[in-house]
């Protein structure tokens, strides 16, 4: 059991670190523009979050779906089939990133207005347009770094996966400082810094395949529609789960822009940055366990699957409670990292204890979603992901302040995650792991 625990830890830490570093790009942009440009710039960066995280969520379908297929095929010794799934996932991610780059750069203004920018001051809207345009220009390295990180980790090099994301995050931090403070480039500098940081991460991650360190290879393969369908099917729950971030950001931006104006959006900007980092930690645990679940499923080891699921629940429960308590204890110092504005500090410090309480059921929901799709219970996983990511969360944010009053707006995420957790418990209890067929279907 001790050896199994060490194996799980070996996968979890790099996955958590890699996702944390991936989300840190946007957070560091927020910190530097908040301190170097002002509270309006902080809100402007947040206006771009719905589209940016939407792009990341949609593209996550391919590496996470592909990783599940690769893990199951590797578990039963089908190396050729695993490599085919890997290359198809890479190709789909590249195609999606090009398409989303074009959309983000051509329709920047309408996207910003749809995200709540139309109700904000002219200055904040202008900065939001500038930030989103230049951030979208780097969609290809942004999405490919995340994709490569997943496969490098699953191909036996979790440490390199983590290193690649660290190199990108450190590069982004230095360039944020350089472009915003000495060079005075504002939000445009922050967006360009993020893009250049992603490029450095891609270069590090590519070294794994160039040096042929694992079993996966960058090579031409035949593309079969069936493989694309399996990748998308396995990846939909992860994509829908990650849609939780853009849906939350979009709904809050729209409601707060209407109720509170610029200060409301700037306040949620701080909360959303903290939310994204917490989400990275909890999602990282789930993603780190995903290749192990897929491998045990391929080997038909029910006992191993159950043990790892229980481990994941325990880890995320402890981590989410710890994060919540730390944010309560250090609320004002944490908020001051982003901006010193007195009004922002007052509103955000009142909202943070209630808002962060939702992290606990959220962390458990992420484990349930990943476990179910890794064991081919895609319908149940989709139901949980769709519920928390789109339906219940958006309904709660839009309806709670109008039914109970604006003071309760920060309770909405806790309500949505709690309802979803009850649904997850029911679906897991009433479903069974699909019977292992003699002829493989993945």
pLDDT in tens, 287-328: 788 777 777 777 777 787 888 888 889 999 999 999 999 999
State the residue for tokens 């309904």. Answer: 395
Kindly report which listed range (70-74, 81-85, 126-130, 364-368) carries the lowest average pLDDT score.
70-74
Q: pLDDT class for 437, splitting at 50, 70, 90?
A: very low
Average pLDDT over residues 430-434: 70
Looking at residue 106, its pLDDT comes to 95
pLDDT over 80 (residue 242): no
pLDDT over 80 (residue 103): yes
Looking at residue 438, its pLDDT comes to 45
Residue 348 near residue 408, CB atoms below 8 Å: no
d(CA 43, CA 60): 26
Q: What is the pLDDT of residues 377-419, one digit of tens each?
A: 878 887 887 777 678 888 898 898 888 887 788 999 999 999 9
Residue 88 near residue 231, CB atoms below 8 Å: yes
Structure letter (DSSP) for residue 431: -
Looking at residue 221, its pLDDT comes to 72
Residues with Cβ within 8 Å of 142's Cβ and at least 6 positions away in sequence, in order, are 25, 55, 56, 97, 135, 194, 195, 198
Q: pLDDT class for 442, splitting at 50, 70, 90?
A: low
d(CA 276, CA 45): 14
pTM metric for this prediction: 0.73
d(CA 129, CA 122): 11
Residues with Cβ within 8 Å of 302's Cβ and at least 6 positions away in sequence, in order, are 433
d(CA 435, CA 442): 14
Looking at residue 20, its pLDDT comes to 79
- Residue % of the chain over a pLDDT of 70: 94
Residues with Cβ within 8 Å of 62's Cβ and at least 6 positions away in sequence, in order, are 89, 92, 93, 96, 147, 231, 232, 235
Looking at residue 439, its pLDDT comes to 47
Distance of CA 157 to the CA centre of its chain: 21
Q: pLDDT class for 433, splitting at 50, 70, 90?
A: low
Q: Tell me which range, 53-62, 75-84, 182-191, 429-438, is most confidently predicted by mean pLDDT.
A: 182-191
């Amino acid at each position: 059991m001790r050896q199994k625990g060490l194996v799980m830890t070996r996968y979890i830490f790099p996955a958590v670190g890699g996702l944390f570093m991936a989300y840190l790009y946007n957070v560091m942009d927020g910190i530097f523009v908040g301190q170097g440009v002002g509270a309006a710039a902080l809100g402007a960066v947040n206006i771009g979050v719905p589209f940016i995280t939407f792009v990341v969520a949609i593209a996550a379908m391919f590496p996470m779906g592909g990783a599940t297929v690769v893990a199951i095929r590797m578990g039963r010794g089908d190396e050729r089939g695993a490599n085919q799934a890997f290359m198809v996932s890479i190709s789909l991610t590249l195609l999606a990133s090009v398409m989303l780059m074009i959309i983000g750069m051509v329709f920047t203004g309408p996207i910003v207005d749809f995200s709540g920018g139309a109700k904000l001051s002219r200055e904040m809207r202008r900065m939001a347009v500038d930030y989103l345009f230049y951030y979208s220009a780097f969609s290809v390295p942004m999405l490919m770094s995340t994709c490569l990180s997943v496969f490098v980790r699953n191909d036996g090099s979790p440490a390199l996966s983590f290193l690649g994301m660290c190199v990108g995050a450190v590069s982004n931090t230095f360039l944020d400082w350089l472009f915003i403070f000495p060079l005075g480039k504002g939000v445009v500098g922050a967006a360009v810094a993020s893009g250049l940081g992603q490029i450095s991460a891609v270069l590090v991650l590519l070294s794994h395949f160039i040096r042929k360190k694992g079993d996966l290879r960058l090579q031409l393969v035949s593309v079969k529609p069936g493989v694309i369908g399996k990748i998308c099917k396995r990846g939909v729950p992860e994509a829908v789960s990650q849609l939780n971030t853009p849906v939350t950001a979009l709904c809050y931006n729209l409601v707060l822009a209407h109720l509170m104006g610029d200060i409301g959006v700037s306040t949620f900007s701080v909360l959303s940055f903290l939310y994204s980092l917490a989400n990275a930690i909890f999602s990282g645990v789930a993603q780190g366990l995903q290749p192990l679940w897929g491998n045990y499923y391929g080997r038909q080891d029910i006992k191993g699957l159950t043990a790892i699921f229980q481990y994941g629940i325990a880890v995320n429960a402890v981590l989410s409670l710890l994060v919540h308590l730390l944010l309560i204890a250090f609320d004002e110092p944490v908020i001051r990292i982003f901006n010193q504005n007195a009004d922002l500090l007052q509103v955000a410090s009142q909202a943070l204890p209630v808002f962060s309480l939702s992290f606990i059921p959220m962390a458990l929901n992420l484990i349930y979603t990943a476990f179910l799709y890794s064991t081919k219970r895609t319908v149940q996983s989709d139901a949980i992901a769709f519920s928390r990511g789109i339906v219940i969360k958006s309904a709660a944010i839009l309806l709670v302040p109008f039914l109970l009053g604006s003071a309760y707006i920060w309770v909405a995420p806790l309500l949505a995650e709690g309802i979803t957790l009850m649904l997850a418990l029911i679906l897991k209890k009433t479903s069974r792991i699909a019977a292992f067929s003699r002829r493989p279907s993945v």
